Structure 1
């Protein structure tokens, strides 16, 4: 790019507005909109503050800012946003906090801006996040626990149970044809009961939630963290939570407190899915007992060819690989269709899932059923395989 063209590009970015943006390429238009969301163009040629209703969500906006600017500049822009959005004053107002409705988008915004918050505001933000987490736990925890416990119990039934482990209702149902009217009794020719659960780690199903924490995936990160915390309370399942952008953070040890998990997430930045999958691969001890749920829009910033090869290796080793393009209520997500098709060609189910559907999905996975058939039964469209 010549010096004159670069000078003109910078002026267009500085001025902003539709006319100036029209002459920019796609990437620079994203950059201009990211800046304009905070510094909207004014009639006098200067930019003035204001994140209006038409602006992108803060979490997505922060992700763009992190992509385009170095960390030192991002810190300045975040602090400016915190003041211009008036979040500082709002978070210091107890009446405001008391009126907040539980909303994953609010949590995503607070998580995105927390590095710019003063300590007192962080304390208030944590109360808001706790409020939202509590509401989500009330909504999702009971169904998740009941569904997964039922699935695990069914998985561990045996036809040779010990006396204390006999499931009498199911045994009676299975032997009704052996009813003896003269004795008014059923001959239990077939016994059905619960297998004793081994305490050995190798006998326990391992679920790894590998979650893309780029700004556009914010609701998915929040829901995945809640589900991971709930699943971690089940002794018959070993649960790991790994979040990533270009770096990787293993939040498994914090699963006892979902709020700690969410405050450990760094929304925004680049994406290196292959690197994250390599880390998850190192966690696999028993491939046939491992379920790897990759939650990502599959826009790979690293080596896409290596990413596809890594999924193939995991699949061939016996790991049950599931790709969720989103875990949210936001409808059809944007995703990399080429990468999704290539992964689907490896016989891995690829689709989007709502939070209400997720417990049934995991129950299907843990009982070894066909996830594609489950998705079809629930009118969930899966990505079709594409040729390599």
Structure 2
């Protein structure tokens, strides 16, 4: 108890990091940088008026405090540290790299920004979104652009649709001994099935916008925008905390989507899934991708029952604990295990893996087998609680 009191006093007073563990040192320096900037600790861990330091500091603040406190601290930072002026400086924009965490920081600051600062932040977000779209768009489009129809062949296939065994056999006469290979004059491949509008698969991305899911929200929004631009699927983006925000109509502009997200707040996953359930028109053609750490603040029993019901009527339900470049996320292990116990895939994946995941889902393949092939460790099933047995 005495050690805990000493820890709390050190965090409250700042400047003395001796005896604190690494997370507490980060917390102490983050607060010292704002509330006691003349202290030696601030010189070691302060903002130093540089874009990377600001991004790191804001990320630390969001990690250590609940959303309500984060808003107060950020507001103090705007007033005390001149962050408003920094965001308006062209040098700041030039220093910013395409970083998802920085986008999340700017999104969380939106509520305390004056209008001119918001315009500048929108430019930064637009730059990051453009670079992420360039990285992810082509791969996503190729992965989702319809199932391959192997009953029909073409001599002008896309690269991904080339039937290499048949192509090699058809070009054996072009074997080049000097190079030890065949030079194909004629490609043989599969034609893609043309899909009617009425036959489109429905994809609903249901995204937790609590502070811990910030990077996942950014990536999910960009993927939703890409998928919405493709004529092969019908895409809906739903973000939630204790309320539900349907951003589907804004998907043509991913920057606008991100400005519509409000990071932080509580979490009512059951309410969000209920909203999605009401909008599913054809369960056998529907895919519900829940992106959440499953820290349910609402009715977890109703949530599990609702997910089970959706699966039973044919909806392809997948739970992603995170969609980010980071490692294994923090999540509610008990609830994740219960959901996995009903045969629903529960795991985290990276943005680079997501297009392949969605392609497997649209083909109704075994998603757990896909995850194993990607060396992704899925959550192990747990026995359901007695009242659900």
Q: TM-score, normalised by structure 2?
A: 0.77
**How many Å apart are 1:66 and its aligned residue?**
5.4
1:198 aligned residue (181, 196, 199): 196
Contact 1:34 1:61 in 2 (8 A): no
Residue number in structure 2 paired with 1:359:
355
2:322 aligned residue (316, 321, 326): 326
Residue number in structure 2 paired with 1:180:
none
Contact 1:209 1:293 in 2 (8 A): yes
Query: Could you list the per-position Cα deviations for residues 83-105 of structure 1 after superposition, in whole angstroms to 9, with x for gaps in the alignment?
Result: 33432121111122122111011
Counterpart secondary structure, 2:317: strand
Contact 2:147 2:363 in 1 (8 A): no
Contact 1:213 1:266 in 2 (8 A): yes
**How many Å apart are 1:209 and its aligned residue?**
0.4
**How many Å apart are 1:60 and its aligned residue?**
6.9
Counterpart secondary structure, 1:271: coil
Q: 1:132 to 1:54 in 2, by over 3 A?
A: closer
**How many Å apart are 1:148 and its aligned residue?**
1.3
Residue number in structure 2 paired with 1:94:
90
Counterpart secondary structure, 2:197: coil
Range 325-334 or range 60-69, more displaced: 60-69
1:212 aligns with 2:208: yes
Aligned length: 339
Consecutive unaligned residues in structure 1, runs of 5 or more:
1-7, 23-28, 178-190
1:153 aligns with 2:147: yes
Query: Could you list the per-position Cα deviations for residues 181-204 of structure 1 after superposition, in whole angstroms to 9, with x for gaps in the alignment?
Result: xxxxxxxxxx9755442222xx11
Query: Could you list the per-position Cα deviations for residues 61-116 of structure 1 after superposition, in whole angstroms to 9, with x for gaps in the alignment?
Result: 458755556xxxx7654322223343212111112212211101111111111111
**How many Å apart are 1:58 and its aligned residue?**
2.8
Residue number in structure 1 paired with 2:185:
none
Query: Could you list the per-position Cα deviations for residues 159-180 of structure 1 after superposition, in whole angstroms to 9, with x for gaps in the alignment?
Result: 4x7xxxx645789978999xxx
Query: Could you list the per-position Cα deviations for residues 214-250 of structure 1 after superposition, in whole angstroms to 9, with x for gaps in the alignment?
Result: 1110000000001000000111100000000001100
Counterpart secondary structure, 1:239: strand
**How many Å apart are 1:269 and its aligned residue?**
0.8
Counterpart secondary structure, 1:356: coil
User: 1:82-231 counterparts in 2 under 5 A?
Assistant: 82-149=78-145, 152-154=146-148, 157=149, 159=151, 167=154, 194-200=192-198, 203-231=199-227
Residue number in structure 1 paired with 2:75:
79
Counterpart-to-counterpart distance in 1, 2:367 and 2:140: 17
Contact 2:240 2:267 in 1 (8 A): yes
Residue number in structure 2 paired with 1:339:
335
Counterpart-to-counterpart distance in 1, 2:147 and 2:318: 22
Residue number in structure 2 paired with 1:378:
374
Counterpart-to-counterpart distance in 2, 1:286 and 1:367: 16
Residue number in structure 2 paired with 1:58:
58
Contact 2:30 2:57 in 1 (8 A): no
Contact 1:16 1:36 in 2 (8 A): no
Counterpart-to-counterpart distance in 1, 2:140 and 2:55: 35
Counterpart-to-counterpart distance in 2, 1:199 and 1:354: 30
1:270 aligns with 2:266: yes
> Which structure is richer in relative contact order (CA contacts within 8 A, separation 6 or more)?
1
**How many Å apart are 1:304 and its aligned residue?**
1.1
Q: 1:64 to 1:277 in 2, by over 3 A?
A: farther
